[in-house]
Amino acid sequence: MGIFPGGKSTRINSPRHLTLRYSRRVAAAYQRKAQQLAGITAVEEDDELDPLAPGEQKLNSYWAPGLEAGPKHNISVKQNIKAPTGEELNLEAEKSFFVDAPQFSLPEGSVHSTYPPPGYPDTNRILPHVVLTDPHLPWERLGSRSQGTNKELQMKMKALAEGASGETVRNRVPWLVMFSFSQDELRLPPQDLDGSTSIFRNTSSGVTKPVKQSGTMTVNMSIEDLWKVTDTTTPVTQDLGPDSMKSSRGDFIFVKPDLFTSLFPASDSSGNPSKGSGPNTLQYQYQAHVRKINGQGMALAGVEDTAIFSIVVGNRAGPLDNETPTTMTAHLVSIEGVEQMSWPGSSHRYVALCSLYSWNYTVLPANTLNVPDAFEDIGRTLNVLRAPEEIIAPLRTSSDKMQQLVAKRLDDGYTLARYRTQTGESTVALYRGPFTPSYIPPLENLTTSSNSGVDLQILDKQLGIMDITYSVAWQVGRTMALGDKAYTAALNRLRTSIHGAAEAASKLQTVKAIDDTAFRTRSDLLGDIDLAIRSLASIHLSNRNDLDPGTPIREPRYLPGGAKRRWKRSRLARSDIPDMSYSSPLIQKYFPNEAIKAARFLAKSTAGDTYDETNDPMSTDWMIVLSWLLDRMFLAGVPAHCLIPDPTYLEPERLRFFRIDSNWVDALIDGALSLGNHYGDDEDRTAIKEALNDYIQHTPDGQDQPVQIPSYGFYLRSDLVTMFPDLRVEVLDVNGNAPSTGAPLLRHEIVTDGVMMAFMDRVPGSDKFASLVFTQPSHQQRFAVARGVDTTQVKVDIRRQYTVEQSIREKDENRHDALGESLIYKPDDPNNIFLWDAKSGSGLNDLRIIWPPRFAAVQLKKLQDEMGTYSDGGTQKPYFKDDTATSALFAMQLNDPVYNLTIDLKSHASSGAMAQVGPPGDSSSPEIRTLKLMGTARVNKLIPDNGSETLPTKKEDDDDDYGATFKRLQSYAATPTALSNFLAPNVRALPVASLASLPEPQLLTQKRNNPEIAPTSNSSSQPDDRGVAGSPKYQITVSSNIIGHWDEVQLDKDNLPQDIIFSIILKQDAVSQYQLVEVDIQIDVGASAPFLMNTYTGPGAHMLTNLRFNVLPTVIRDDEHDINQLRLRVLPRSAKGWVYATQVSELTFLLGLAKINAPAKYSSEIKVQSWARYKRSPNEGLGPNNILEITNPDTTVKVVNLRYTPSS
């Protein structure tokens, strides 16, 4: 489970989430401001605004969901429907459901942190607690039914909000409670774990025999097995859930009845604990609360701007008289159903409780651990990241010069590593990670990209040892890149895009260098389109000059040029063709600059500015590559042994600063970009680096500094990091304020247990990074019984609490002091807030629990009486005003004091090792970390290229010849074929065929004698008569594509071209064996009204539903009758050339944009011919002698002209 933000999540799944979130927040604010200046109302989203300032927190007593889990819920729906006739219909429905929520185990990620951490020690006054990522979880189920259900609570709160009388519900009992036990209190004796007397003897095979308790004294079993455990009672009953609950498994602890009774007492009339009629859980309403915090400066919670947690606090202190460390076990226990139990009887030896989370910690004797001292010890260990001083000092003071040289290398952060040369010999080498103890300037000799990383090795001539630092960095970058498929694929696509565009542009530049007019690009053509349009008349031999109408043009009157330019191209000799290969000097002259141009184009956003991860990218491949490279510049994913080459560099309880070596990062990036080099000379890599440098130097809109890249950082290795994983880190300037520009922390992570890492872009000790502050996180503070507790007394300091704004609180000069005198309670005092013994007066100190109802009441009373007042315009008002003790108020009392450590880096920067971390001089400005390995990586070829660097020259005979004239013969006339090849895009030229040239079937055509089909016949009717030998019958209707007029062609007053529907319906015997070859419809075309249309120039015909056929229109010329005919052939889409007629039911098609001849009256009728062709013999081919043609009756087409009335 992730961290609950309480609204829209701002989580960014990236190691750079701190800088990305800052940049996007600034970009959003800049855009809102720009919209306001432009007069556009900007929509403010509450989810985008952080309601809490850094360091602030908000406490709630509980967050209860609308419906609790456990009991069955019913939802009923009623609906009354009234018909216009007055009839009514009442509908009712009811559905039962259960709310799905954790019950016997927690989902993964539910626990954010615990205190004390597992295995870590603390004093006996500390109360263990658990921080949960779900703020609703402790109240998902009912801890006490006496407070009503969550639905009843919701309805009551709604009624109170609407003005109803009653008291607001300020507390609610959680179903999760934190208990701590000594292991002896939970350890079962051997006879109860195994054998005939075992309490698990009746359980199923799901419980492994012999039974063994876990390290936290739990036993895992199903609920069904739990009910079979003998001599044991449990609050887990069938009433807590559906029948399927019995198959659920959980961890259970077995508590002795006396201890169970002491954990769930009731309150008597005096408010003291007493054994009631049954277990009582109301006291635990003070032991859980919700905290909403600002996550800035926190490694874990900082993934969200706002984080909300629920916290469950224990009520039991550790042993008070232990002289040696004692192991305690903390359990997050479910108390669901406890109030419905009876007290354990005489037959019950144990009470089984479900433990949803548990861990062990150690309770130390008093005064053995001090958090303030731990913070101070960290501050005293401030140094740089390198070998310990006790290792370097003897070498530095040695008289041996060689040892002094080794000490110097250790001072610079180097260590000795085992190294195997390329020839196989094993030797030693110097290695230093990216984190250096001193400033390392960009190396002057390392400026060229590498193809192998070997050329990045540096020989230490004084020691005679090879420095493989940057060679290792190069190999690490390449290896990491090879392990990321998405990055590798995107990088290769990006390289292809850059190389293709650059190569094309280089070739164009080479050609244009010979003759600028030899090649016209699209941009050139579009740029000259205005001139071309204005010169159109001259193309047709006009007598005037379009560009200068007053000046006659000379012969030939053709502006584009003479005959050679129009028609003649001389064949080029080999020497006349420039070398266009990639390795050609002619191409290499232009390629580097063109590659950079291509890379910069792809690195833009869709708006045309630099893509900076706050806008939309022009290239998604560049987006992937850029994000991956920036992650590597933040050293994300780099193996730990490469970052810290020797474990002695970071010893326990140490704070170590370092500088990030820009040369190391350069080599890392170069290795990552080396993939996909298919050309040897890698200009594409250099172009990508140029684009990356542009991004690094780019200042995004709304910001006053370029993109932040880390230059410095620190490691903190301490138990404090384990105790407080969200230890808050603040970077303050010389005035003690947070930086006004940029994110203060660029990367902040817990890299492993007890080790924190943080990156910055400011020099430690500069004006912008003058101090470093570590503060206990607000949601991971310790909770304690009191200031002090032992076997004789408990001493409580009531803390000051306020119900006024922070500005008013600061008026109270004593706000950091305890409120009044300390309260001291002894074991025999009445009205006690702490219970030492399970049996009063026994002196065993075996219970050690606080009594929250009395403790919270004492706190509230003291706050009401002694907090004092402040003056508000002459009126005295109280600092604290409340009448109810709540779990949030009680949690503030149980909180141990919050400690922070402020490290003054300014004083350390002027002396000692810290003085060498920053660059020379006193610069506070963030460093711009651009890449320096910008030289092109090249491969020495075995056979050198012999390409010529000289360009072919333009020959004189290439010039145009204006001696020719371009005059057409006066008798010239374009042929129809020529005209048909240059039609407009919306005009269709149909092929023309002579009727005499068409093959005719050798078998005589047979004509059907059935009556003619009337045009008004319904297209869906099925005639009953048959044609020749029972051949299929075709019902054909020709109409406009107008609903309601499927039997006529209708023309409006404009008579525009329209779509014509040819409806063809087949009726045939089910046993028909006809093999259909084609169906033809033939229309006589001519200019006058008796013809349906003059000609057809539309886009063609297509089938409407039966896509297994095609329609081929053809123009037929009948020279004998001197007439043209439009023949529409419906052919099957079959490799055989025919289909069985029984498989066809209709052949309807549409003839697009046909121009119909308009009759000079309201309507006219036109005849349309049609026929069908079949195979004569099913066993022979489709030759002309095997075709049977059956003519259909003519179809009458009715044409209606709406320009006339029906009477005309």
**Tens-place pLDDT, residues 1050-1098:** 998 889 999 999 999 998 887 888 999 999 999 999 887 789 998 888 8
| Secondary structure element (H or E) that encloses residue 1174, with its range | strand 1163-1175
Is the model more confident about 384 or about 1182? 384
Name which of 833, 824, 877 is nearest 853 in CA terms: 833
pLDDT at residue number 1005:
53
- Give the bridge partners for 789, in sequence order: 794
Residues 6+ apart with CB under 8 A from 605: 611, 612, 615, 616, 617, 618
* Of 413-427, 510-524, 1062-1076, 1119-1133, the least confident: 510-524
Q: Tell me, what's the pLDDT at 779?
A: 83
981-990 pLDDT, tens digit per residue, is: 666 666 666 7
pLDDT reported for residue 248: 93
Q: pLDDT category, 815, cuts 50, 70, 90? A: confident
pLDDT top residue among 1175 and 984: 1175
Q: Quick one: DSSP state of residue 56?
A: -
- Looking at per-residue pLDDT, the higher value among 1007 and 259 belongs to 259
pLDDT attached to residue 1016:
41
Higher pLDDT residue, 571 or 104? Answer: 104
More confident residue, 1001 or 375: 375
Residue type for 901, please? Answer: L
Residue 956: pLDDT over 70 = no
d(CA 895, CA 313): 10
Percent of the chain with pLDDT over 70: 89
Q: Does pTM top 0.75 for this prediction?
A: no
Provide the pLDDT confidence category of residue 480 given band limits of 50, 70 and 90: very high
Question: Average pLDDT, stretch 42-51?
Answer: 52
Give the mean pLDDT of the chain. 86
Q: What's residue 1028's pLDDT? A: 46
pLDDT at 1083: 94
Reference 218, options 190, 254, 164, 165; nearest CA is 254
CA distance 782 to 393: 41
Paired tokens of 1120: 């004998």
- Gap between the Cα atoms of 263 and 258, Å rounded: 9
Close Cβ partners of 1113 (under 8 Å, ≥ 6 residues apart): 990, 1096, 1100, 1101, 1126, 1127, 1128, 1129, 1151
- Average the pLDDT over 413-429 and give the result: 90
Measured CA to CA, the distance from residue 26 to residue 701 in angstroms comes to: 8
pLDDT at 798: 93
Question: Among 346-355, 864-873, 905-914, whose mean pLDDT is lowest?
Answer: 905-914
Q: Residue 695 pLDDT more than 80?
A: yes
pLDDT band at residue 556 using 50, 70 and 90 as cut-offs? very low
Residue 47 in this model has a pLDDT that exceeds 80 = no
pLDDT value, residue 489:
96
Which comes out higher in pLDDT, residue 31 or 436?
Answer: 436
pLDDT band at residue 967 under the 50/70/90 scheme: low
Contact indicator for 869, 877 with CB cutoff of 8 Å? yes
Task: Please give the Cα distance from 701 to 195 (Å, whole number).
Answer: 76
pLDDT at 555 over 70: no
The pLDDT, as a whole number, for residue 141 is 92
pLDDT (0 to 100) of residue 539: 58
Q: Where are the beta strands (DSSP E) in 761-822?
A: 771-775, 783-784, 788-789, 794-796
Question: To 5 degrees, how large is the angle CA 1094–CA 1100–CA 1101?
Answer: 105
Residue 157: partners with Cβ closer than 8 Å, 6 or more residues away:
168, 169
* Domains defined for the chain, CATH in brackets: 96-369 (no CATH), 371-483+603-777+896-939 (no CATH), 783-894 (no CATH), 989-1201 (2.60.40)
Characterize 976-998 residue by residue with b for buried, 16 or more Cβ atoms within 10 angstroms of its Cβ, and e for exposed.
eeeeeeeeeeeebebeeeebeee
**Are 633 and 929 in contact, with CB atoms under 8 Å apart?**
yes
Instruction: Using the CB atoms, write b or e for 514-547: b if 16+ within 10 Å.
Output: eeeeeeeeeeeeeeeeeeeeebeebeeebeebbe
List the one residue out of 123, 144, 74 whose CA is nearest residue 785: 123
Averaged over 1090-1107, what is the pLDDT?
Answer: 90
Distances from the Cα of 1127 to the Cα of 635, 853, 992, 1087, 1102, angstroms: 75, 101, 10, 17, 14
User: What is the enclosing helix (H) or strand (E) of 864?
Assistant: helix 852-866
The string of pLDDT tens digits covering residues 621-638 is 999 999 999 999 999 999
